[in-house]
A = this chain, B = another copy of it.
Amino acid sequence: MTKYGFLGIGIMGKAMATNLLNAGLDVTVWNRTAAACTPLIDLGAKQGKTAADVVAHCDITFAMVSDPEAANALCFGKDGVLEGICEGKSYIDISTVDADTSNAICHAIKEKGGRFLEAPVSGSKKPAEDGSLVFLCAGDQSLYEDAVDALDVMGKKSFYFPRMGQGAQMKLVINMIMGTMMTAFAEGLNLGDKIGLEKTDILDVIAQGAITSPMFQLKGPLMVKENFSTAFPLKHMQKDMRLALLLGDAHGQPLYTSAAANNAYIKARQDNCGDEDFSAVIKNV
């Protein structure tokens, strides 16, 4: 039976590891502060001593940490992933990191004989709990094939792209469309409001037609109530749009409409909405 490791038991990691355990899989967990592991131990998880220890004793180890700095520390730091990896061991980083970080980790893992997959996810807390995440994987194809059953436990769908970095780039493309759609939606709601239409009527009409989407269904009523409690922080959306626009710049793709939307998020950040939900952009269009 495949032994799975899971490093990083935050909101997302806890939900994902819980789903692995509920599926009856063998899971060893580790977190920088060990207390976070307790609920998983209660569900049958084993406690790893260090990240290196988990990687050395498991076949496939997942990691889910908050940012590139944390991902680097986890891999290259004392008692980190690199100290445990060797031929026959595999590492899958689910964290969202930039291409340079991802490539550096990949390179180091492969030098030690291990296999590596980047697997950033689309979806936040609720999809993680429901097992309905979407995984955007790139890197070692044989590892993807070995891991796909576990990914299917944690998500509803996974994609494999052949070139390292493509998982992260796909996520940027999707988020750029999402951010521009949200700005279009916000402009429409504000225009309707100015000309005397009820925002709730606009939502009702949208819900009946070709442009309805889960995002509009979920965020629309909250936006009307000016409830911007954070699911995806505006400053992160703006960062993703900046990175997507720079990809366009580097590859000669003009992005007039997305660039206009990006400026709306910059304006919103300037007005101290960076930590609110990205739908708060409606206050600045």
Q: Interface on A for B, CB 8 Å cutoff?
A: 122-123, 134, 136, 156-157, 159, 161, 163, 166, 169-170, 173-174, 176-178, 180-181, 183-185, 187-188, 190-192, 194-197, 201-202, 204-206, 208-215, 218, 238, 242, 244, 246-249, 251-264, 266-267, 269-270, 285
Q: Is the CB of B252 within 8 A of A257?
A: no
Q: Copy number in this complex?
A: 4
Which residue in chain B gives the minimum CB-CB distance to A242? B249
How far apart sit A213 and B211, CA to CA, in the bound complex (Å)? 6
- Would A252 and B270 be within 8 Å (CB), given that A159-B204, A195-B247 are in contact? yes
Q: Which of B136, B178, B260 contacts A256 (CB 8 A)?
A: B260
How far apart sit A200 and B188, CA to CA, in the bound complex (Å)? 29
* Interfacial chain B residues near A208, Cβ < 8 Å: 122, 134, 156-157
> What would be 27 A-B contacts, judged by CB atoms less than 8 Å apart?
A122-B209, A134-B208, A136-B205, A159-B201, A169-B192, A170-B197, A173-B191, A176-B187, A177-B206, A177-B211, A180-B181, A180-B184, A180-B187, A183-B257, A184-B258, A191-B253, A194-B248, A194-B252, A210-B213, A210-B215, A212-B214, A238-B249, A242-B246, A248-B266, A253-B270, A254-B267, A255-B263
Q: How far is the CB of A151 from chain B (nearest CB, A)?
A: 13
Q: How far is the CB of A9 from chain B (nearest CB, A)?
A: 25
Q: Is the CB of B191 within 8 A of A185?
A: no
Q: Is the CB of B209 within 8 A of A197?
A: no
